[in-house]
Structure 1
Amino acid sequence: MTGRYWESTLPGAGRRAPRADAVSDAAVRSLNGVWRFRLSPTAAGTGDGFFATEFDDTDWDAMRVPSHWVLEEFTPLAGGPARRMLGTEEGPLYTNTAYPIPLDPPYVSTENPTGDYRLVFEVPDDFGAAVLRFQGVDSCAKVWLNGEELGWSTGSRLPFEFDAPVRAGRNVLAVRVHRWSAGTYLEDQDMWWLPGIFRDVELLARPAGAIDDHFVHADYDPVSGVGTLRVDASVDAVVEIPELGISMPTGQTVAFPVEPWSADTPRLYRGTLSAAGESVELAIGFRRVEIVDGVFVVNGSPLTFRGVNRHEHHPDTGRTLDRETMIQDIVMMKRANIDSVRTSHYPPHPEFLRLCDEYGLWVVLEVDLETHGFIYEGWEHNPPALPEWREAIMDRLHRTVERDKNHPSIVVWSLANESMSGDGFTEMRRWLDERDPSRVVLYERDPSYRDSDFYSLMYPSLELLESIGRREEPRGGKLSMHGMVFDGPDEPLPAGVTEAEEERRRGLPFLLVEYAHAMGNGPGGLQDYWRVLRSYDRLCGGFVWEWIDHGINAVDAEGRAFILQSEDIDYEPRGGRFSLDGLVLSDRTPKPALAELAKAHEVIDIEVGERVRIANERHAADTSDLRFRWSVEADGRSVADGLLDVPTIARGERVEIAIPDAAASALRATDAVLTVEATLAAETLWAPEGHVIAWAQKIAAPVEDAVRRTGNPAGATSRDGDVIRVGEASFDAATGRLLGLGDLQIDGPWIDLYRAPTENDRGQGDNNNLAAVWHATGLHRLLHRVDDVGLDGERLVVRGRTAPRTHPHGVTWTMTWVPDGDGVRLETSVDFVGPWADTPYKHRDIWVPRVGLRFALPTAADRVAWFGRGPEETYVDSVQGARVGRFARTIDSVQTPYPIPQENGNHTQTRWLDVSGEEMATLHVDGDPFDFTARRWTSEQLEQARRPSDLVAGDRVWLNIDHRQQGIGSASVGPALPEQYRVPREHTVWSVRLSVG
């Protein structure tokens, strides 16, 4: 085994000590660009000769650095076909919990794809002493410079450096990168396995007297408003902060009044740290982080994280991100009222943290450590519990903290993710307490929480979350693979947890480290979580899982673009579709869920009733940077607007304002809506002037249309052979099916109880798998029977039964059609009949996903206009982020293009709907608020499609007018859909009115 460094539990050899990331005026030579590359099947690579300075690599491939070789197209320099590995087991692999290699630490398989890289570069005569820095290499790298071995390293998302004896003129850098190594066992982080040199490579000049390391200590006293500053450095240097009039030596402490740093007011004091050989930029933020009486406090005020978990991802380049993409992420987050990021589950590129300091995001920085796959052997050889792994684990902590210790945005160090427990965490915590007592520490998975300043869980139910807020949660508890809590009574304490530790845990603040799984269409229930989170000081917020879908751009055999995900790769283990669980699509197109989250996260709380109530829930800022405006729309047109005269509201304060007379008067119009908005009064770094950060509405009561009336002239209902006429509507006399309405051809309606399952409908394994229950009960293959068609005066009454094959359960229904002015009114009643528990799921309550009506319209239908919630899709538990108003869209554009086809495009609380098209009469639907969807394929076709390209428009447009559709929830990793968002199996009656124009 001699020389098999990639299977060593040591973290590396030959490296320099970790140090602070810095922006310096010393010379830097970027080594990014096109390198020579050759991929080999084993750790032997191309052999021992490739690092020689005169090695002939003319026939090697061209490889971009930084990049992941599994995402690149290899271009042979000497000719020949290009290669790309997408969709093969040599390419990108995704797992959620399982390791993609045998569980035999620290060893890996002989089949270990290994990339040999070579770069020839020039160094000027005056460059001097140098350091070679790699910002990130996955998963293990050995490095040679000019034929001399410098060392090797693991820790994929962390920098490592070597002293680099460069020569003036030509230099040759050679790097061997192994896909699998002992480090793989510490990096099982629910992500794509993407090898390669994927972050920047740099040659840094280190002049005599250069500043190798520095540590900024910037405290803030919230009582006096005084900041205390000391900067330590590896050499004697001078600290200069011109704005504060400071020029002092390192190691000296000064105090003076300052404005503190927070995410809503990211105040930075810029300066320099200068020594004989180098000057380093300083961006200092003063702030104090504490736990006070069981409450998480920053700068003297309780802090509530409105956060997201963020993996680094780009659909073309994987974890290789440029600065523009990082800024795009941060701008989108800030505009969606996201104020914090958990760097799941590793430190990000250092530029991202500099941007967090500047733009204003709280950061929970996580060490590059997760051992989740050891759950498959009962955690028997879990590295954090074993002394032979201790040096590697501590190395990851040191490199994390030393690189990022000077960022004011970082307020919490997270020791790891989902790595169970062990003495390794106690040693990590002990070192942190000595090295950086200015921040608090998180570790979620150890049930004793002995090394954490927070009590934390993933995906608790709302009931449990509320009990935690009251500090009344049960003792003990059970955890699933993802930490989902199954609520129950008090239980014995977990093994190894003492009564003293349990008592301490109950006094800790609670952090919702992951919740609201944003997989596919979802999550729902965000407003419910935030109702609870706002109610208790113990609850310091939470982080939605997660920011972005991890899809990869690909092209199928027919040349059609699609989003590659785990199930497209013939490889086991696979992580299912759990790589697609973000608030934004892989190309960063926002999902409708992002607007819902923005609404849930609002820190300016506005209520519009008889008066306007405004509360400031910001962490630090008052409202002097905001402008409040009101507007009234009636029938989709702006009829009045103006500014609200709102005094500046201090943090934690509230005011009441009278509704302007002009607004109150305008509300008397048809379909009138008063909207009050809080907007930015001036442009900021992340949004333009006028950007809306909070809003609320008051909706006027419906105004009855005088033209419409119940009933119609005598004789409007009649029968003529095989056709029955009810006002403008014609029906098949045998089946009671609608044939037409005026000049519009229309078919149906059919009772509809089904929807194409969302990812959240499929639950987690067998847990909360509603889609499996629906299939077991046959809801996806309903058949319809008409029992009676008859006239009762002016009414047409049609009775029947809708039920699945095989089973005795179903629904009986009655549809009653009545002339109504220029249209026809339909009243539908539904009763659930039969033993609905006649399936393998007898122990479960059978929920139907919808109760409604399905119509078929001509394919000419291509536009919808409606008054209700919009314009994006809404569901009963995901509706608050959508405004009430009049909206118009094409039928194609109301579909949300989820990369896995599923239920989408629903619209709740609709008062009226128009469906129109060229050379087609417009269908008008109104009634008590209803849900609608309109698409060119059925729910069944939507479910059967593997990719969006499988969805082909047919010869009809399918319109659902529903009494109710169930919510979407978060059960793909989370609790069951709450009762209030289900569709009850009970006697149901609703009515709608149809007309054409």
Structure 2
Amino acid sequence: MAETDVESHGFANVGDISRITDDPQWEKVYVERIVRHIHAQKNHPSIIIWSLGNESGYGCNIRAMYHAAKALDDTRLVHYEEDRDAEVVDIISTMYTRVPLMNEFGEYPHPKPRIICEYAHAMGNGPGGLTEYQNVFYKHDCIQGHYVWEWCDHGIQAQDDNGNVWYKFGGDYGDYPNNYNFCLDGLIYSDQTPRPGLKEYKQVIAPVKIHALDLTRGELKVENKLWFTTLDDYTLHAEVRAEGETLATQQIKLRDVAPNSEAPLQITLPQLDARETFLNITVTKDSRTRYSEAGHSIATYQFPLKENTAQPVPFAPNNARPLTLEDDRLSCTVRGYNFAITFSKMSGKPTSWQVNGESLLTREPKINFFKPMIDNHKQEYEGLWQPNHLQIMQEHLRDFAVEQSDGEVLIISRTVIAPPVFDFGMRCTYIWRITADGQVNVALSGERYGDYPHIIPCIGFTMGING
């Protein structure tokens, strides 16, 4: 798809994104742009679609561009993202549409084929959600394709006094205002080396899929997502590993798997012991191509074969002694044979944990609803999380109780965590279970209250333990 790149989304900042797109005075400028574009690109056989642009609203000038394009070349399809009703375009599209809505588009298809012309925003450590999107694309024939934003970073190479290479972006030349790092949003770095996001994307769109059927019997399923060729030129490499040791390897030529079909696959498994064991699969292309050497890796998969079933060393019962409870105004301490754990009655959390005279606790445990921000969180952070003070939520104890029975002590803390000023948050319950053999287990549950129906950065639990 060749992009004419009419893009005037800056008018959205004044609440009128279609201001010049639906203004007849701008028709000549719009039409000249698509005419020049077609004449410049028309002899490239790889181009099968003309795109008029995106993020510019809709109006009379888009209709004029479409008719000008068809007058010059009626052999190719025409796309424009904001012709949402497909009034003139041949392909209907949206951008950054969430997975559930894309699935609804597939369930209730438009008469014209659909694409998503931008998705998987690749800034920072993005993109994310690729597998979920790809499953929807595979599921619905009416969804024809997708375009990742974008391919390459556009930083400008620089070098410091020590010879270290780095890449400049907005603001590094003293320019203000600027778009900061918004030019660093590709699947590859500015020097053309792959970023982790490209490796993830390669795996997601891999044309050879391997699925587990019955791993205890070594039964797999191979799926060919290619449209026109079999898998005769591909080889599956299987490796069984247990805690770093290779137990077995096997190579299988993938034959007679027709395009867009699947077939069962049998591998031979070795005798497994008590260790945790995994089956690692790599699929390679046998022959050399214009873009890869022979044996190029197409996809990798890993399946757990066996959990670690080694029996732990049993606790010596002759060393156990009944738990004792030391209770005072501000804290309570549970003591066992070789350990002691102290809980604060001000926070409901453990403040000290001693085992064999060594201190284990380095940071008080707590529930956590925030995490360091990445580039793709910018919109949520500025629009939802920062205004609602999610980054400074505070936790307060509401109730503290101790229950002692034969061989164990339960410490039950009920807290509320909430941002300052706002009337919403989470009511949390911590249940700490301490047993005579020194085990400490915690169960944490919560129930939200108040009016905050939006997504939150994370749900986590942090606790510092001395290694």
Do both share a fold (TM > 0.5)? yes
Task: Quote the residue 2:379 is aligned against.
Answer: 763
2:133 is the counterpart of 1:529: yes
Give 1:639 deviation, angstroms: 1.1
Whether the 8 Å contact between 1:649 and 1:655 is mirrored in structure 2 is yes
Once residues 789 and 765 of structure 1 are traced to their aligned partners in structure 2, the CA distance between those partners, rounded to angstroms, is 39
2:464 is the counterpart of 1:855: yes
Give 1:412 deviation, angstroms: 1.7
Partner of residue 691 from structure 1, selected from 273, 296, 307: 296
Q: Report the secondary structure of 1:401's partner residue.
A: helix
Alignment of 1:86-125 (within 5 A): none
Once residues 654 and 805 of structure 1 are traced to their aligned partners in structure 2, the CA distance between those partners, rounded to angstroms, is 52
Task: Quote the residue 2:453 is aligned against.
Answer: 844
Give 1:565 deviation, angstroms: 4.8
Give 1:666 deviation, angstroms: 4.2
Once the two structures are superposed, residues 776-822 of structure 1 have per-residue CA deviations (whole angstroms, 9 ceiling, x without a partner) of: 5842x4467994677655435444355357478542312223366xx
| TM-score relative to the length of structure 1 | 0.40
Q: Quick one: structure 1 residues 629 and 727, their matched pair in 2 at CA, closer, same or farther if it must change by over 3 Å? A: farther
1:812 counterpart letter in structure 2: T
Give 1:680 deviation, angstroms: 1.7
Once residues 629 and 677 of structure 1 are traced to their aligned partners in structure 2, the CA distance between those partners, rounded to angstroms, is 5
Mark the runs of 5 or more structure 1 residues left unpaired by the alignment: 1-363, 473-505, 858-922, 924-997
Q: Quick one: structure 1 residues 689 and 442, their matched pair in 2 at CA, closer, same or farther if it must change by over 3 Å? A: same
Give 1:697 deviation, angstroms: 3.3
Give 1:693 deviation, angstroms: 1.3
Q: Quick one: structure 1 residues 554 and 804, their matched pair in 2 at CA, closer, same or farther if it must change by over 3 Å? A: farther
Whether the 8 Å contact between 1:726 and 1:817 is mirrored in structure 2 is no
Task: Quote the residue 1:682 is aligned against.
Answer: 287
Alignment of 1:261-410 (within 5 A): 364-375=1-12, 376=14, 378-379=16-17, 381-382=19-20, 385-387=23-25, 389-390=27-28, 392-410=29-47
Task: Quote the residue 2:151 is aligned against.
Answer: 547
Give 1:856 deviation, angstroms: 4.7
Give 1:371 deviation, angstroms: 2.3
Task: Quote the residue 2:105 is aligned against.
Answer: 468
Task: Quote the residue 2:329 is aligned against.
Answer: none
Once residues 764 and 736 of structure 1 are traced to their aligned partners in structure 2, the CA distance between those partners, rounded to angstroms, is 34
Give 1:439 deviation, angstroms: 2.6
Once the two structures are superposed, residues 557-608 of structure 1 have per-residue CA deviations (whole angstroms, 9 ceiling, x without a partner) of: 9999876554778766554654444344555565443333223212212112
Task: Quote the residue 1:621 is aligned against.
Answer: 229
- The count of residues paired between Structure 1 and Structure 2 equals 447
Structure of greater Rg: 1
Once residues 639 and 372 of structure 1 are traced to their aligned partners in structure 2, the CA distance between those partners, rounded to angstroms, is 58
2:443 is the counterpart of 1:829: yes
2:62 is the counterpart of 1:425: yes
Task: Quote the residue 1:507 is aligned against.
Answer: 111
Task: Quote the residue 2:311 is aligned against.
Answer: 706
Once residues 711 and 427 of structure 1 are traced to their aligned partners in structure 2, the CA distance between those partners, rounded to angstroms, is 85
Once residues 139 and 225 of structure 2 are traced to their aligned partners in structure 1, the CA distance between those partners, rounded to angstroms, is 12
Q: Quick one: structure 1 residues 584 and 713, their matched pair in 2 at CA, closer, same or farther if it must change by over 3 Å? A: farther
Q: Quick one: structure 1 residues 408 and 728, their matched pair in 2 at CA, closer, same or farther if it must change by over 3 Å? A: farther
Once residues 151 and 464 of structure 2 are traced to their aligned partners in structure 1, the CA distance between those partners, rounded to angstroms, is 37
Once residues 730 and 587 of structure 1 are traced to their aligned partners in structure 2, the CA distance between those partners, rounded to angstroms, is 56
1:681 counterpart letter in structure 2: D
Whether the 8 Å contact between 1:726 and 1:796 is mirrored in structure 2 is no
Partner of residue 415 from structure 1, selected from 52, 55, 71: 52
Give 1:413 deviation, angstroms: 1.6
Task: Quote the residue 1:485 is aligned against.
Answer: none
Task: Quote the residue 1:795 is aligned against.
Answer: 408
2:239 is the counterpart of 1:631: yes
Q: Quick one: structure 1 residues 776 and 388, their matched pair in 2 at CA, closer, same or farther if it must change by over 3 Å? A: closer
Once residues 367 and 805 of structure 1 are traced to their aligned partners in structure 2, the CA distance between those partners, rounded to angstroms, is 47
Q: Quick one: structure 1 residues 453 and 726, their matched pair in 2 at CA, closer, same or farther if it must change by over 3 Å? A: farther
Q: Quick one: structure 1 residues 713 and 530, their matched pair in 2 at CA, closer, same or farther if it must change by over 3 Å? A: farther
Once the two structures are superposed, residues 62-95 of structure 1 have per-residue CA deviations (whole angstroms, 9 ceiling, x without a partner) of: xxxxxxxxxxxxxxxxxxxxxxxxxxxxxxxxxx
Bigger relative contact order, structure 1 or 2 (CA pairs below 8 A, ≥6 apart): 1
Give 1:674 deviation, angstroms: 1.3
Q: Quick one: structure 1 residues 541 and 507, their matched pair in 2 at CA, closer, same or farther if it must change by over 3 Å? A: same
| TM-score relative to the length of structure 2 | 0.80
Whether the 8 Å contact between 1:517 and 1:581 is mirrored in structure 2 is yes
Once residues 234 and 197 of structure 2 are traced to their aligned partners in structure 1, the CA distance between those partners, rounded to angstroms, is 25
2:408 counterpart letter in structure 1: R
2:197 is the counterpart of 1:607: no
Mark the runs of 5 or more structure 2 residues left unpaired by the alignment: 327-331
Q: Quick one: structure 1 residues 373 and 740, their matched pair in 2 at CA, closer, same or farther if it must change by over 3 Å? A: same
Once residues 784 and 584 of structure 1 are traced to their aligned partners in structure 2, the CA distance between those partners, rounded to angstroms, is 48
Q: Report the secondary structure of 1:400's partner residue.
A: helix
1:827 counterpart letter in structure 2: N
Alignment of 1:47-196 (within 5 A): none
Once residues 590 and 712 of structure 1 are traced to their aligned partners in structure 2, the CA distance between those partners, rounded to angstroms, is 56
Whether the 8 Å contact between 1:711 and 1:819 is mirrored in structure 2 is no
Once residues 132 and 155 of structure 2 are traced to their aligned partners in structure 1, the CA distance between those partners, rounded to angstroms, is 29
Give 1:542 deviation, angstroms: 0.9
Partner of residue 747 from structure 1, selected from 343, 352, 362: 362
2:255 is the counterpart of 1:651: no
Task: Quote the residue 2:341 is aligned against.
Answer: 731
Once residues 568 and 750 of structure 1 are traced to their aligned partners in structure 2, the CA distance between those partners, rounded to angstroms, is 41
Once the two structures are superposed, residues 330-374 of structure 1 have per-residue CA deviations (whole angstroms, 9 ceiling, x without a partner) of: xxxxxxxxxxxxxxxxxxxxxxxxxxxxxxxxxx21114322223
Task: Quote the residue 1:240 is aligned against.
Answer: none
Q: Report the secondary structure of 1:532's partner residue.
A: helix
1:597 counterpart letter in structure 2: Y
Give 1:713 deviation, angstroms: 4.3
Partner of residue 597 from structure 1, selected from 182, 201, 221: 201
Q: Quick one: structure 1 residues 553 and 798, their matched pair in 2 at CA, closer, same or farther if it must change by over 3 Å? A: farther
2:458 counterpart letter in structure 1: P
2:433 is the counterpart of 1:816: yes
2:236 counterpart letter in structure 1: F
Q: Quick one: structure 1 residues 641 and 677, their matched pair in 2 at CA, closer, same or farther if it must change by over 3 Å? A: same
**Greater shift in the superposed pair: 610-619 or 737-746:** 737-746
Q: Quick one: structure 1 residues 542 and 791, their matched pair in 2 at CA, closer, same or farther if it must change by over 3 Å? A: same
